[in-house]
Structure 1
Amino acid sequence: MNDSESDRGLPDILEAGLSVVFCGINPGLRAAATGHHFAGRGNRFWRVLHLAGFTPEVLSPDNDRMLLPYGCGLTAAVARPTARADGLSRTEIEAAAAGFEKKIACYAPRYCAFLGKMAISAMTGSRDIQWGLQTTAFGGARVWVLPNPSGLNRGFSLDELVDAYRALYVAAVRETEAARSCATSP
């Protein structure tokens, strides 16, 4: 892979009005090389999404666009790929904040789910980030912070990841059902 290929990032998988947009910190080198999100061999994202209820089957990275019909999208806080997220500086993430927040506002998902605390902490300047639903919005979307499913993040077991992602799934489904109920009420 040459330098121009390694800097190209990944295309967003977004459309207006999604229920959840999953926001990775930045693409891994394998994901950038293949052009598909969460393509790293050890990444548990696709399996966790399925087990948490977001998809009826485990999608493969090659089919990442198939996430849209389930009301979910994919993006990254910083476009530049690295072997590990710690290859980004806090300054680089902070510099991406305004453009990223504008992107989220433009697509207007109900939830922006940050995978890990690193990006949301740098983008908001808050060091006290907890897991789960946050009290402040980002780009008009409700913010949910989930553990990063990277194979490098072994601080969370598969079951713990699934439980964390399922909590978001349940909240998103409840909100969608409530919105439908209001729309059909006289």
Structure 2
Amino acid sequence: MMKLFTLPDLIQPKLKIVFCGLNPGLGSAKKGHHFMNKSNRFWKVLHLAGFTDQILEAKNDIDLLNYGYGITSAVSRATKKASDLSKGEFQKEAKILEKKILKNRPVFIAFLGKAAYVEISGKREIDWGLQDEEFGGAKVWVLPNPSGLNRNFSLEALVKSYSQLRKKSLK
């Protein structure tokens, strides 16, 4: 039987923002840290957008909590590629995610990429940025996925998008 890999959330009560990835990458789950893949731009983008005063290393991901931010995933099962997930997995785990957000009460939940939020919300069309509805009592923001596989967004475009959320979260 194949071992099922997951990655613990970095979440605690009263965070400003919880960043919500699609699901953990297999390498990240095996090593126990978020966004371990060297091609993923998450940590660099967070720093350049002003969330952190330095580029955090994935092995120090827990330090993100000190800045008032957390990380979770829409689906807890780690995969080699996000395309290995089924629509049913997003829908099945949406209630679990919602309970985590309700319990911890962040101001924002920021979905990294549209895919998870499309499945969770049931909407076909999602714009980038602030959404009209809440999820688990948190304001919903949709950001481009910082994955190195997402070449639709340059580093500059990612930083601009993430900076907009940061500015909104300071108000």
TM-score bracket, shorter-length normalisation: over 0.9
Alignment partners' CA distance in 2, 1:10 and 1:36: 7
Partner amino acid for 1:101? E
Alpha-carbon deviation of 1:118?
A: 0.7
Q: Give the equivalent residue in structure 1 for 2:109.
A: 112
Report the TM-score when normalising by structure 1. 0.90
Q: 1:168 aligns with which of 151, 165, 168?
A: 165
Alignment of 1:107-186 (within 5 A): 107-174=104-171
Residue aligned with 2:170, SS: helix
Report the TM-score when normalising by structure 2. 0.98
Q: Quick check: 2:5–2:26 contact (8 Å CA) kept in 1?
A: no
1:70 aligns with 2:71: no
Deviations 1:68-125 (A, max 9, x none): 1101000101011111111101111111111111111111100000000111110111
Q: Give the equivalent residue in structure 2 for 1:177.
A: none
Give the number of the structure whose residues are more often helix, by fraction: 1
Q: Which runs of 5+ in 1 are unaligned?
A: 175-186
- Alignment RMSD (CA, Å): 0.9
Alignment partners' CA distance in 2, 1:162 and 1:100: 26
Residue aligned with 1:3, SS: coil
Alpha-carbon deviation of 1:8?
A: 2.6
Larger radius of gyration: 1
Q: Give the equivalent residue in structure 2 for 1:181.
A: none
Q: Give the equivalent residue in structure 1 for 2:15.
A: 18
Q: How many correspondences in the alignment?
A: 171
Q: Which runs of 5+ in 2 are unaligned?
A: none
